[in-house]
Structure 1
Amino acid sequence: MEISTMKVTKMDYAATGAFSQTISDYLNQSKQLQAFYNRFPTADAFEAQIKEKQKDFGEAQRQTLYQALQEQYTSVAEVNPKVQQNIDLLQQPNTYTITTGHQLNIFTGPLYFVYKIITAINTCKQLQEKYPDYNFVPVYWMATEDHDFAEINHFNLFGKNYTWETEQTGAVGRFTTEGLEKLMEELPEPYPVFEEAYRNSKNLADATRAITHDLFGEYGLISIDGDHAGLKQALTPVVEKELTEQFSNKLVEEVNTQLEALDYKQQVYSREINLFYLKDGLRERIVQEGDRYKVLNTDINFSREEILQEAKEHPERFSPNVILRPLFEELVLPNLAYIGGGAEVAYWFQLKRLFEAYQVAFPVLMLRNSALYITRSNASRMHKLDLQPEKMFLDFQDLKKYLSDHLHEEEINLEAQRDTVAAAFAEVEKLAQDIDPTLVKAVGAEAQKAHNALQMLEKKISKARDSKHEQTFKQLENLKDKLFPNGTLQERHDNMLTYKTNNPDFIPALVDAFDPLEFKFTILEEE
């Protein structure tokens, strides 16, 4: 198969019209947002971030992390040497992580899953060059404890939606992969990486680790599962404070008030207790009613002493929600930066006070790379319309108007030709008058016929041109739909296999194109 070469174009995020004012303000380092984050992501900023993280991450935490990863990677048949090297390096005091997180979407879900991971990989590469005395490891935090199955059970491939049906409940990482074999039979062709993972793994967490290992192992990516008793011990003091003081909610609500006063909407909502109770088939909120702690939608309830004892003996049964999970990540990883989409970065702004209260270093917040990938066939259609890729971000009506102006031609008008024909018939009429005046009437009739014929032809040519333009506009509409399915960014809809199937070098092309600290939207065009 011929490997595509790539033309890469960069544009400002704001120019795409697809990102919030919050993100635009952040990338512009607006003064009113600076109180809500630690350091803006420049290469130079990581020197101070390293020094800060050194203070709150010690040898014991590194050993706990190392043991957990060693245990978790027993599910991978043959660990890539680069992955094993990075796991080993995490024991060293000069090794740090760059982390992204995402749900366990089947078949990796939308493209931005891949974009997040590549952003983490490339950030590590750049930091390694700038700070050769340190080691930098890309980490994918698997949201194994998430229980919103409807968000992960489907993906779009070549314009068709595929859905996994199962009656399982609770944390999705613990789901068996039963039922996925039926979905795989519906696919247009076999995809060995995914089939092997889903057929040979005991649960979705292990399957997702196998997939990310296969796709990104050569880049040293580590996938970590926070649903682990050893790792959860680090969260125990937080759980106790949460249960007895409802500590995080007070801090987050204060910050929310400040953000809203600056016209920034809160992205996630805090609860009085930001914890779930977790067992097989069960992940439900913990609420306090009087002097009892209840697990919603169950008969499970505890006294204060009982629930604190439960937290001490079984930390794995307490699952942080969206407010506390970031804190959990930073407690168990020697992490310097968190990479997320626009909404994720914005919700971390709500959390800085919480980190300060627990004296945990607040990571550098990085917007993941975003991209528009234009296949060779779509690039050909675009260039036939004489359009540059940046123009494709215009609203369709604006794009149509731009193209209309671009295609502007003079009005179809055969007036000159009619005048020429009329002059010719006038000469014929003069000749007829001189030879036989009875022929003048016949000449006049023929002249009128010619005049009418030219008028009809004028209308037909105009209509044909309009029809040609309508065809052009239809082609434009089809191209716009291909590049922006359902009117949204491609990365929020299409699956990686839509592009990797026809371009085996899809991931390396992204690795080559993405610059994580440039903060530009990337357009990749197959040539």
Structure 2
Amino acid sequence: MNVVPEPLPGGSALARDYINNYEKVGHLYGGDFRNVESREKRAEWLDNNEGFRADRAQVTDYLRTYNQKHNSHDAVVASLRLLAQPGTLVITGGQQSGLFTGPLLVVYKAMTTILAAKEAGERLGRPVVPLFWIAGEDHDWDEVNHTYVLNRTQEISRIKIEKSAEVRASVSDLKIEAESWLQSVEQLDGLLQESEFKPQIMEFVRESSLNASNMTDAFAKLMGSLFGKFGLILLDSADPSLRRLEQPMFSSLILQNDELEAAYLSAASDITASGYELQADVTPGNANLFYIHEGARILLHKKDDLFTDRKGVVSFSREELLDILNNHPERFSNNVLTRPLMQDYVLPVLATVLGQGELSYWAIPRQAFETIGGQMPLIIPRMSFTLVEGTLHKHMDKYQLTFEDVHQGLHDKRQQWLAAQDELELGRRFEETKATFLAMYEPLIEQLGSIQSGLLKLGNNNKDKIIDQISFLEGKAQDAMEKQNEAALRQWERIEQSLMPLGKLQERVYNIMYYMNRYGTAWLDELMTIPADYSGTHRMIYM
């Protein structure tokens, strides 16, 4: 594999400045992982504030139980053994659970987490373990219920899985019937081309999916199959066993909710005053907590000293909410602004791996960390790649295309190339024919109008029909040209579909199973040897 940097525009202005001009936005964050001094300061703060967090032994016991069920690799056992020791730090990354792991960016986030933990441990001279925080408490089913692969004919195919209930519940709580799993697995099997690696790939896809009752369990088993050997610990944020450990922090989020609201609003004001747009809603009265009512995950707001939802389905005083928390912590759930606080309470987080969208909204909780006596962890930009298979690279060279060309869209360049194949110069000649015809015919029409006024209208209608017929023939000639160059145009289409499917970066669309099927599980091992880069620069991997 050949890895080449390919700087790309995109992302929010705040994310771009974090990546390229940290000094400008440093006041909105807690520190930059790329700065060695920041790492040392953060590590020292974590050492001095061990009592701020959940009990390390209890957290490790929970993680040991969860990973034994879904991710029982020896390297994970070793990571957990280290985590149980005082002084061990954690690099986290996280994502919603997705079908067959979801898009490639999930894989790249796990890669970044593992490599960053290894490097941090070496630089700091102390144990640092990687952990993937599965956002199983999120309820956006439509975001995680599908994935895309290139099929046997190199076309984009969508695989979607159905759930059994319509309730707006956390993804981890949505039951998926065995028949739905079977249908999606068989669809993947039918779409992937035959290869020497396919039996092995489909075996662990089936094992993870057909033995799972929900999306998160299947996701955890697949992630364990891919990354367990690198010591990546997994955590499901919706796990009821975890909720009991999180109870003290939920209590703080309820008791200090007004102060936290003020902190979020103040940070939002700082962000907008610095010239940036907010990437998450910060609204007065929002409790930034979800409550699980009859299986549905509903957002709480504050009104008349009560915690309620927009529709008034539930309503609690602060004391009632705390009493429910004491007896049923599994009924509470974080949102995007309180999850960073909870993650920092549960784990000794040295740094967390974020995509560009997350980079932007993580600036909002900065003051909230301080409100509850914490400190914002360091942030690592997720590594970002586009995979270019060998044949595609040859086609790009053949047509003198750069990735920037593909990123901007190939329509105009494709039309220019097609026009250059027109040795008969049909486009020019058809235009000349139309111009010559009009130059001869329009004066005649005007003269006919002097004989009888009705002939002028009839002549113009006749002229338009003739021009339409010439244009019709021109279109047919264009179709014939495209047919003559059909094989080449398919190459253009494949370049675009592979590198910018649906007009998006490849990593935001395609699933890893297509590439595992083509290159085998050893390909992932090779991918893990790519030098770590936390600059936020997009990179091309030429296969």
So what's the TM-score if we normalise by structure 1?
0.80
Q: Which amino acid aligns with 1:479?
A: I
110-119 vs 511-520, which moves further: 511-520
User: Where does structure 1 lack aligned partners over 5 or more consecutive residues?
Assistant: 1-5, 413-462
Partner of 2:163: 166
**AA matched with 1:151:** E
Corresponding residue number in structure 2 for 1:435: none
Structure 1 letter corresponding to 2:49 = D
Tell me how far 1:54 sits from its aligned partner.
1.5
Provide closer, same or farther for how the CA distance between residues 251 and 374 of structure 1 changes in structure 2, counting only shifts above 3 A. same
Contact kept in structure 2, 1:96 and 1:334, CA below 8 Å: yes
Report which stretch shifted further, 367-376 or 201-210. Answer: 201-210
1:56 aligns with 2:41: no
Distance 1:8 1:269 in 2: 37
Distance 1:211 1:298, change over 3 A: farther
- d(CA) in 1 for partners of 2:11, 2:253: 35
Q: Distance in 2 between matches of 1:139 and 1:60?
A: 16
1:301 aligns with 2:296: no
Larger-Rg structure: 1
- Contact 2:305-2:317 at 8 Å conserved across structures: yes
CA contact (8 A) 2:134 2:235 kept: yes
Q: CA deviation at 1:372?
A: 0.7
Is 1:104–2:97 an aligned residue pair?
A: yes
Task: Give the drift of 1:47.
Answer: 1.5
Residue 109 of structure 2 corresponds to residue 116 of structure 1: yes
Return the letter of the residue paired with 1:157.
V
Give the distance between the partners of 1:151 and 1:157, measured in 2 at CA.
Answer: 16
Q: Decide which of 6, 22, 45 is 1:11's aligned counterpart.
A: 6
Give the drift of 1:122.
0.9
Q: Give 1:384's aligned residue.
A: 398
Question: Identity percentage over the alignment?
Answer: 27
TM-superposed deviation, 1:31: 3.6
Cα 1:517–1:289 change in 2 (3 A) is: closer
1:151 is matched with which residue? 143
> Does 65-74 or 210-219 show the bigger shift?
65-74
Separation in 1, partners of 2:386, 2:337:
31
Is the contact between residue 111 and residue 492 of structure 1 (CA under 8 Å) also seen in structure 2? yes
Q: Counterpart in 1 of 2:62?
A: 68
**Aligned match of 1:513 in 530, 534, 543?**
530
Q: 1:423-434 counterparts in 2 under 5 A?
A: none
Q: Please, which of 517, 534, 542 is the counterpart of residue 501 of structure 1?
A: 517
The residue aligned with 2:345 is 331
Assess if the C-alpha contact under 8 Å between 2:67 and 2:233 holds in 1.
no
**TM-score for both structures, normalised by structure 2:** 0.78
For structure 2, the residue ranges without an aligned partner over 5 or more in a row are 151-155, 191-198, 426-477
Deviates more, 1:260-269 or 1:175-184: 175-184
| Secondary structure at the counterpart of residue 362 of structure 1 | coil
Pairwise CA distance, 1:518: 4.1
State the partner residue of 2:83.
90
Aligned to 1:501, the other structure's residue is in SS state helix
Cross-structure match for 2:407: 393
Q: Could you list the runs of 4 or more consecutive aligned residues of structure 1 that deviate by over 4 angstroms after TM superposition? A: 295-299, 388-391, 397-405, 407-412, 466-474
Aligned pair 1:251/2:298, yes or no?
A: no
Look up the SS of the partner of 2:91 in the other structure. strand
The Cα shift of 1:401 comes to 9.0
**Structure 2 CA distance, aligned partners of 1:297 and 1:472?**
57
Q: 2:25 and 2:416 mapped to 1: Cα distance? A: 36
1:262 — aligned with what?
274
Offset, 1:475: 3.8
> What count of residue pairs does the alignment treat as equivalent?
464
- In 2, Cα distance between the equivalents of 1:292 and 1:24? 40
CA distance in 2, matches of 1:337, 1:398: 44
Matches within 5 A, 1:35-54: 35-42=27-34, 44=36, 45-54=38-47
**SS at 1:512 equivalent:** coil
Deviations 1:298-335 (A, max 9, x none): 74433433222112232222111111011000110111
User: Match for 1:188: what amino acid?
Assistant: D
